[in-house]
Structure 1
Amino acid sequence: KDGIHGATFSSESLHEGSPASAVQIGDPITQKKMHDAQIEARDQGLYNSVTDNGAGGLSSSVGEMARECGGVEVELDSVPIKYAGLLPCEIWISESQERMSYAVPPENLDRFMAIMKRHDVEATVIGKFTDSGRCRVTLHGKPVLDLDLEFMHEGLPRAELKSAWEPPALAEPKLAPRDNYSADLVAMMGRLNLCSREYVVRQYDHEVQAGSVVKPLVGVGQDVHQDATVVQPLYDQPEGVALASALHPWYGDLEPAAMAEAGIDSAVRAVVAVGADPDRVAVLDNFCWCSSTEPFRLAQLKRAGLACYQTATEFSVPFISGKDSMFNDFKGFDGEDNPVKVSVPPTLLISSIAVVPDVKKCVTLDPKAVGDLVYVLGVTRDELGGSEYYAYRGETEEGERYVGARVPRISDVRALRERYQKLGAAIARGLLASCCPVGVGGLAATLARMVMAGECGLALDLSGLPRESHLDDGKVLFSESLGRLAITVAPKKRSAFESVLAGEPFDLLGRVTASGRLQVTGVSGKQVIDVGFAELKESYKKTLGW
């Protein structure tokens, strides 16, 4: 058996008695067949409603759909089952994967079933929707369930939980400044949160049906990770679909709202940077929390959820779906039979999907030509709380990561939305040669990725970088402030590019060179980085070079 009590399983702590049968077993081949069949049936308008058999199985999917019309009758005898001997309640609540429930008008049934058969998808009529006001389920003609629909949906008393927020008592670490940050950058590029995961990408075929426009790995060697990918669903149409995701769990330790803001901004910025229309972006959430009924954890969840609403609303970016798992805790015993509890850190993953108006105008992160101009768009602030650089310095100096206190935040979402609209307009006019969002690891890590991908050099001076005035070289290089991008532009397009971005904080830092080295003069006026792309790439690939 699989998928029995999956929803319950995901909403409680793991323990030694947790049933293995709660885990669903997927079947991607069947899933692909079903998706193809559904698209065809959808385009022909053959069904009125559809939902997946996720948490709660048929009880949830059919029950939710019955609310629209006012009743339902289901014959469990007709439900295809994977295992013999299932109890009626198990058939009703099983969450076995790759199953959908459809409401198909009788006059469309033959055409609907023909499409399913043509795609080798098993489809069965299991009952009918009614206006009886009840959910009635039978097995071999005998009733096994007969519930008032209003009671089914509204009968359970609402739980009342209490939350209590207490900001963590944190302080900024006092870091000794470096004369040169080249060694730090090389080491940073080998850290697990920054290094290459090429071995994972290569295990999967991302060339299926040759629809890939921007692949997961880009650059001269096709071996540096791009922040967003683009596929072209219809070969005879110019539009594409951009996909990206963002994850900032360490920010959540300082302020869950910051984790939500950063996730949305990073996911939106990634698809816009590759060529998506900023006005045609949608996002999805995946909350992975722990101990969600405890007051402090619940307060963290509330702050993250509210920030999701506020940030997405001001970005005019809708949440179109999501998922949550609220009790990622394990309760057990140690070797001396003492009770132990292990919990995941509260984590929010934001994914984005967007329409690319013309795939021929897509932009990747690798610089394209020697002599191109290098810009940074956006303001760098003293925001290294929860950053990868603080973690690196803490682990190398004290044996555990520094956390910090000033986590990246968005002060004006609408201003960022306007910035991304201007960026989108510049990409649509073909004014950018490359574009890379500044994210984990800060500006230094972003520039490193660009020279690795382009197998080129960059000669840069950060003295004019838009920034808070008190920042030293280390903070300028490794701050993870949001809303920033590194961009290269052909010299002949400089005037047009700067005209489109007028009013935004940006600076021309330098040029793409043939030296093969990342050479950066800091705000101090001293050279703070001088390292070759080959050395950076060696560190980048070595950690997980399996």
Structure 2
Amino acid sequence: EMSNGAILDLTNAPEKYKGLMSWEKLISESQERNVLVIKPENLEKVMEICRHYGVSATKMANFTDDGYYHVKDHDQTVVYLPMDFRNQGLPQMEIKSHWIPPEVYEPELPILQDLTQTALDLLGRPNIQSFDWVSTRYDYEVRGGSFLKPLAGPGKGKNNAIAYRPVLTEKEIVIESSGSNPWQGDIDSYHQGINGVVDAIGRTIAAGGSMDQLTFNGNLTCPKPENDEYIAAQVMRLLKGASDAELAFGTPRISGKDSTSLEREVLNTETNEIETVKAKPELMMSSLCVIPDESTITSTDFKLARDLIYLVGDTRDELGGSEYYLMKGETGANVPKSDSDELKPRYQTVVDAVKSGVVHSAQYLEKGGLWAGLANSAIGGRLGAEIDLTPISNGLERADKILFSQTTGRFLVTVHPENKKYFEKQMEGIYTEQIGVVNETNNVDVTYMGKQTIKTEVDNMKFMNQGEIKH
């Protein structure tokens, strides 16, 4: 399109798998590849840079102005198409979409005074479990430049993000994180899209990042939208939600990948009939943030006994699509709703608090809510905690909703007692409540309205957090 023609030679195309046919080389979607357009006089300079960093680079094509897209492989012509046909030869696909809000409801679950077993069971769910065996099996050191690894603390909790120095001779640090919750799309995929962005930013900030140099990749997967008007509408609302959030936070999407055919026909062995199995529409928002140096990097694990535990951000009755409801076989109706005007000043205040150095640990709260975050910090630090939910009830009047709500934009942070006044002064105007204290015991005790709600040991939590999926 830039020059009205090109000639591409596949003869020396690097092959991930030997023996690929010409058409396979041309349309393969193998990842981690990039195309560079280079002036002829700069070719050798670019190739030298690639050799220096050990990056494979192959000259493949030249632009022409003859009006044709010409592809060869070992001197045989594979494609020879007029550029007009290549760019405009096929009509634009039209997909019909029709959104009908699903009929959803809030379940009436029994009120339990003792939530210990429920809380432990939640830690083992696949979306919450640690998967530490995966993280320790594979290389995560990034040429020795890692500053924040997948696992946190001596007890190997999970970190909000990873952070590393991509160029070892430079100071800049890259923080990578993500956000996604496809079950929220069963209620409203618009809020699912917004929340994926909000969660990824929150996790990045908890790890020591900011919104200044933060960008996104959007990775969409869904069943074939051309076959289902409702799925097409879900996808449109999902993308619109993410786009609105990116614009609101000033965090652009610079790339992405789509897989729009996640459905398969399978044989139902009970009925002996062919059924179509479809995945849920999902948009994995992968974030990348560049920070000046490692001075703000913060992990999730509790650091010191006597540290004060704070909840930043209020908790609402927003358990729709939550892990707690899913564990109970329910979906719910109250999907978390994120307000960028409310969250932006909160996020910036947390950024400033972390930069000041008073925050010992920071955990962004998402899947599993406050309880999952508290458990992860305790597991990582091998330290216990005493928690009182009463100050943060906000009219919820149920301990399970306070513990397991997945309201977005919340953080669990710890601060040394000597910095209590300074931290609380920093957080003025932002919902911040002290809810507990870290201790040296192996116990986590949670109370609500003066009554014990959870009493367990960190060792039990870690055991349950190994989860349902094992290697």
**Residues 332 and 387 (structure 1 numbering): CA distance in 2 closer, same or farther, change over 3 Å?**
closer
Instruction: Work out which of the residue numbers 123, 148, 154 in structure 2 matches 1:220.
Output: 154
- In the alignment, the residues of structure 1 paired with residue 67 and residue 263 of structure 2 have an alpha-carbon distance, to the nearest angstrom, of 39
Alignment of 1:468-483 (within 5 A): 468-483=394-409
Letter of the aligned partner of 1:299 in structure 2? A
Instruction: Work out which of the residue numbers 301, 306, 309 in structure 2 matches 1:374.
Output: 309
1:358 paired residue number:
293
User: Is residue 2:415 matched to residue 1:489?
Assistant: yes
User: Is residue 2:456 matched to residue 1:531?
Assistant: yes
- Output the TM-score relative to the length of structure 1: 0.80
Secondary structure of the residue that 1:433 maps to in structure 2? strand
2:346 paired residue number:
419
**Does the 8 A contact of 1:276 with 1:357 survive in 2?**
no
1:9 paired residue number:
none
Secondary structure of the residue that 2:143 maps to in structure 1? helix
- In the alignment, the residues of structure 1 paired with residue 413 and residue 48 of structure 2 have an alpha-carbon distance, to the nearest angstrom, of 52
Instruction: Work out which of the residue numbers 184, 187, 192 in structure 1 matches 2:121.
Output: 187
- In the alignment, the residues of structure 2 paired with residue 154 and residue 343 of structure 1 have an alpha-carbon distance, to the nearest angstrom, of 32
Alignment of 1:279-428 (within 5 A): 279-293=212-226, 294-335=228-269, 338-392=273-327, 394=328, 401-410=329-338, 412-428=339-355
Letter of the aligned partner of 2:42 in structure 1? N
User: Is residue 2:455 matched to residue 1:520?
Assistant: no
Secondary structure of the residue that 2:210 maps to in structure 1? coil
- In the alignment, the residues of structure 2 paired with residue 239 and residue 102 of structure 1 have an alpha-carbon distance, to the nearest angstrom, of 24
- In the alignment, the residues of structure 2 paired with residue 157 and residue 361 of structure 1 have an alpha-carbon distance, to the nearest angstrom, of 51
User: Which has more radius of gyration?
Assistant: 1
1:510 paired residue number:
436
- Output the TM-score relative to the length of structure 2: 0.92
**Does the 8 A contact of 2:311 with 2:413 survive in 1?**
yes
* Long gaps (5+) in structure 1: 1-66, 395-400
Larger relative contact order (CA 8 Å, sep ≥ 6):
2
**Does the 8 A contact of 2:322 with 2:331 survive in 1?**
yes
**Residues 134 and 369 (structure 1 numbering): CA distance in 2 closer, same or farther, change over 3 Å?**
same
Question: Over aligned residues, Cα RMSD in angstroms?
Answer: 2.5
- In the alignment, the residues of structure 1 paired with residue 96 and residue 135 of structure 2 have an alpha-carbon distance, to the nearest angstrom, of 43
CA apart distance, 1:99: 5.3
1:273 paired residue number:
206
- In the alignment, the residues of structure 2 paired with residue 374 and residue 178 of structure 1 have an alpha-carbon distance, to the nearest angstrom, of 25
- In the alignment, the residues of structure 2 paired with residue 92 and residue 232 of structure 1 have an alpha-carbon distance, to the nearest angstrom, of 34
1:264 paired residue number:
197
CA apart distance, 1:144: 5.4
Alignment of 1:130-145 (within 5 A): 130-137=64-71, 145=79
CA apart distance, 1:283: 1.6
CA apart distance, 1:111: 3.6
CA apart distance, 1:313: 0.6
- In the alignment, the residues of structure 2 paired with residue 187 and residue 138 of structure 1 have an alpha-carbon distance, to the nearest angstrom, of 58
- In the alignment, the residues of structure 2 paired with residue 107 and residue 468 of structure 1 have an alpha-carbon distance, to the nearest angstrom, of 66
- In the alignment, the residues of structure 1 paired with residue 242 and residue 59 of structure 2 have an alpha-carbon distance, to the nearest angstrom, of 40
* Stretch of structure 1 that moved more, 96-105 or 186-195: 96-105
CA apart distance, 1:191: 2.0
- In the alignment, the residues of structure 1 paired with residue 53 and residue 296 of structure 2 have an alpha-carbon distance, to the nearest angstrom, of 35
1:202 paired residue number:
136
Letter of the aligned partner of 2:103 in structure 1? A
CA apart distance, 1:360: 2.9
Q: Percent identity?
A: 32
**Does the 8 A contact of 1:272 with 1:423 survive in 2?**
yes
**Does the 8 A contact of 2:211 with 2:249 survive in 1?**
no
- In the alignment, the residues of structure 1 paired with residue 288 and residue 91 of structure 2 have an alpha-carbon distance, to the nearest angstrom, of 37
CA apart distance, 1:357: 2.9
Could you list the per-position Cα deviations for residues 322-360 of structure 1 after superposition, in whole angstroms to 9, with x for gaps in the alignment?
A: 111111111244446523211112222111111233313
**Residues 313 and 177 (structure 1 numbering): CA distance in 2 closer, same or farther, change over 3 Å?**
same
**Does the 8 A contact of 2:142 with 2:166 survive in 1?**
no
Secondary structure of the residue that 2:246 maps to in structure 1? helix
* Long gaps (5+) in structure 2: none
Secondary structure of the residue that 2:245 maps to in structure 1? helix
CA apart distance, 1:292: 1.0
- In the alignment, the residues of structure 1 paired with residue 54 and residue 172 of structure 2 have an alpha-carbon distance, to the nearest angstrom, of 30
